[in-house]
């Protein structure tokens, strides 16, 4: 799915999305030297792996191999376009040399298609732009399995733990359940650097590579206190974006000394909002200031600061947090700013938690490899999650099926069962079959008794 204007972008159907995956893998160089190992292609390996994550079925390819033998056809071919069904080990061998950076653009191109088509309007923030949250999450850990791209940590007892961590940015919005994954960045050892890589450095590389593409949308980046430091804030601003980061006292002593000074003279601007939760009255107290130094020194960046303290009817504090931002904080926007800052939790709950606990098995070791396999498979999982989210928003049939089922889990249970036992010609055939089966039975009218 190459970058193009809105008129030329393909529709976001399952077929178009699967074809985009195929085109991405087809364009990758093949470093094999020839011989019998040329029987399977990288695109077949990539689509086969993607089909497992899209169907949330680790045994999907085994079922399709059996179906091919028994029926002479299979769903991996008809729905995902896999020409030859490779084994799990063949998939691992073919995908291990693939750099995840070659797949990452597809995630952004899908989101760009949504943006160009107006499907992201529900996610516009208080500025009229969009919110993008940054966060790192660990997706592999072992004391035995390792590759050159692992991060290592030696414990006091001498044991070494190997891990993989990914920064998984998303577009999100307060009050909106859907989050849209953007290209990931991976914490990996960097050439020419003695220190181990870290989440913040990976996020900086992500900004340099991807922020220019989305900055024109009016992006405000969200992040926890890890990101709220001057060098990273400068990186965000250099890309033409804003920041709204959690700002905690232990790591921002200078800023909070200024807050304390303003507090002593009663000069902190305050807005109080009382609301009814349905069970009790809650009081939200917003405090805010502008032009506070983010750190000590003459070169300190001046930022806006806002704090929310929520108390119940008895005066007990039930929530408190604070943020530093490049936006000027006012009485008119402080409530919206805080709502935006608080929505950062969605990257942990709606994104990372969903990836780990809602059928995607993000932390499962599908294959580690010795080059890039672990990161490539993680990228394909993110791509599958993004496409599910996109289809629920723009595909009428997909959305109608989801509406008839009580949960995401039930939807995938039905999908797995159908694809295990029945071959389908197309996605349209599959979705129509599911809709017909789920449609409410027509109400029968009782015939009136006649006289004669």
pLDDT, one tens digit per residue, over 16-41 is 999 999 999 988 877 666 655 578 88
pLDDT-based confidence at residue 445 (cuts at 50, 70, 90): very low
Range of 51-55, 158-162, 277-281, 357-361 with top mean pLDDT: 51-55
Strands 269-276 and 281-293: antiparallel
Helix (H, G, I), strand (E, B) or coil at 175: coil
Cα–Cα distance measured from residue 122 to residue 178, given in angstroms and rounded to the nearest whole number: 10
pLDDT, position 126: 87
Cα–Cα distance measured from residue 308 to residue 322, given in angstroms and rounded to the nearest whole number: 6
Residue whose entry in the numeric block shows the structure tokens 């093949």? 30
Please state the three-class secondary structure of 235-298 as a single string.
Answer: HHHHCCCEEEEECCHHHCHHHHHHHHHHHHCCCCEEEEEEEECCCCEEEEEEEEEEEEECCCCC
Q: Would the pTM of this model clear 0.85, i.e. be above it?
A: yes
Q: Are 165 and 145 in contact (CB under 8 A)?
A: no
Q: Are 360 and 354 in contact (CB under 8 A)?
A: yes
Cα 131 from chain centroid (whole Å): 13
The mean per-residue pLDDT over the stretch 79-98 comes to: 94
Cα 150 from chain centroid (whole Å): 22
Cα–Cα distance measured from residue 330 to residue 319, given in angstroms and rounded to the nearest whole number: 21
pLDDT, position 5: 42
Cα–Cα distance measured from residue 452 to residue 447, given in angstroms and rounded to the nearest whole number: 15
% the chain with pLDDT above 70: 92
Q: Are 434 and 410 in contact (CB under 8 A)?
A: no
Q: Which of 23-27, 51-55, 423-427 bottoms out in mean pLDDT, i.e. has the lowest?
A: 23-27
pLDDT, position 439: 82
Residue 247 makes CB contacts below 8 A (sequence gap 6+) with 225, 228, 255, 305, 322, 323, 324
Which residues sit opposite 304 in a β-bridge?
A: 325
């Amino acid at each position: 799915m190459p970058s193009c204007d809105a008129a030329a972008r393909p529709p976001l159907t399952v077929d178009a999305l699967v074809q985009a995956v195929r085109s991405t893998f087809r364009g990758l160089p093949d470093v094999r030297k020839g011989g019998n190992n040329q029987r399977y292609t990288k695109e077949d390996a990539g689509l086969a792996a993607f089909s497992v994550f899209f169907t949330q079925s680790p045994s999907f390819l085994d079922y399709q191999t059996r179906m091919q033998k028994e029926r002479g056809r299979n769903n991996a071919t008809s729905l995902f376009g896999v020409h030859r069904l490779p084994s799990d080990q063949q998939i691992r061998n073919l995908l291990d040399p693939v750099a995840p950076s070659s797949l990452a653009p597809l995630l952004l191109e899908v989101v760009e298609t949504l943006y160009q088509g107006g499907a992201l309007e529900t996610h516009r923030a208080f500025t009229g732009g969009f919110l993008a949250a940054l966060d790192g999450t660990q997706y592999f850990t072992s004391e035995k399995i390792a590759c050159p791209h692992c991060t290592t940590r030696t414990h006091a007892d001498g044991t070494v733990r190997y891990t993989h961590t990914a920064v998984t940015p998303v577009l999100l919005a307060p009050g909106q359940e859907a989050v849209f994954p953007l290209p990931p960045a991976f914490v990996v050892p960097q050439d020419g650097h003695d220190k181990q890589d870290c989440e913040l450095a990976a996020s900086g590389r992500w900004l340099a590579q991807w922020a220019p593409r989305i900055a024109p949308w009016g992006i405000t980046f969200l992040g926890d206190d890890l990101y709220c430091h001057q060098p990273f804030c400068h990186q965000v601003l250099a890309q033409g974006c804003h920041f709204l980061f959690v700002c905690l006292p232990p790591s921002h002593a200078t800023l909070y000394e200024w807050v304390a000074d303003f507090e002593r003279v009663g000069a902190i601007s305050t807005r109080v909002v009382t609301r009814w939760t349905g069970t009790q009255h809650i009081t939200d107290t917003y405090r805010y200031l502008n032009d506070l130094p983010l750190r000590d020194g003459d070169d300190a960046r001046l930022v806006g600061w806002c704090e929310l303290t929520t108390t119940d009817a008895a005066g007990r504090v039930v929530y408190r947090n604070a943020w530093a931002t490049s936006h000027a904080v006012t009485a008119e926007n402080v409530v919206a700013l805080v709502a935006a800052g608080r929505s950062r939790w969605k990257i942990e709950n709606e994104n990372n938690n969903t990836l780990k606990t809602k059928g995607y098995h993000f932390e499962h070791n599908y294959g580690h490899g010795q080059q890039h396999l672990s990161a490539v498979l993680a990228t394909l999982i993110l791509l599958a999650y993004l496409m599910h989210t996109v289809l629920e928003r723009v595909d009428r049939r997909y959305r109608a099926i989801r509406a008839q089922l009580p949960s995401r889990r039930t939807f995938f249970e039905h999908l797995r069962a159908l694809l295990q036992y029945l071959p389908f010609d197309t996605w349209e055939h599959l979705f129509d079959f599911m809709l017909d089966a789920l449609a409410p039975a027509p109400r029968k009218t009782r015939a009136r008794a006649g006289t004669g």
